[in-house]
Amino acid sequence: MAYEHIVDQERCKGCGLCVTACPKNVLEIDTEMNTRGYFPAHQARPEDCIFCAICATICPDVAITINEIAAQAAGAAKRRK
């Protein structure tokens, strides 16, 4: 089973907890503000993500979700990056 990692850019308040907690240094704070005036996190190096879900667990705003996706969809998701 493959996984996709999603940061809800509008829910994120840019606290940086996930950036610090990620063991693979995948996440960074964006340089563009969201509509609430925060700089949200994003996956700067998605190819390094091991889908450990530490970031999703630590996020106080439940802004990160990791979904199981079918292998075919995983290929499409990878091509979109």
Residue 64, Ramachandran bin (φ over 0: left; ψ between -120 and 50: alpha; else beta): beta
Considering the complex, what minimum distance in angstroms separates the CB of residue 33 from ligand SF4? 13
CA distance 54 to 67: 14
Judged by beta carbon, residue 60 or residue 79, the one nearer ligand SF4 is 60
The residues that touch ligand SF4, with contacts defined as CB under 6 A, are: 5, 7, 12-18, 22, 24, 26-27, 40-41, 49-55, 59, 61, 63-64
Residue 29: phi and psi, rounded to 5, are: -80, 135
Judged by beta carbon, residue 23 or residue 75, the one nearer ligand SF4 is 23
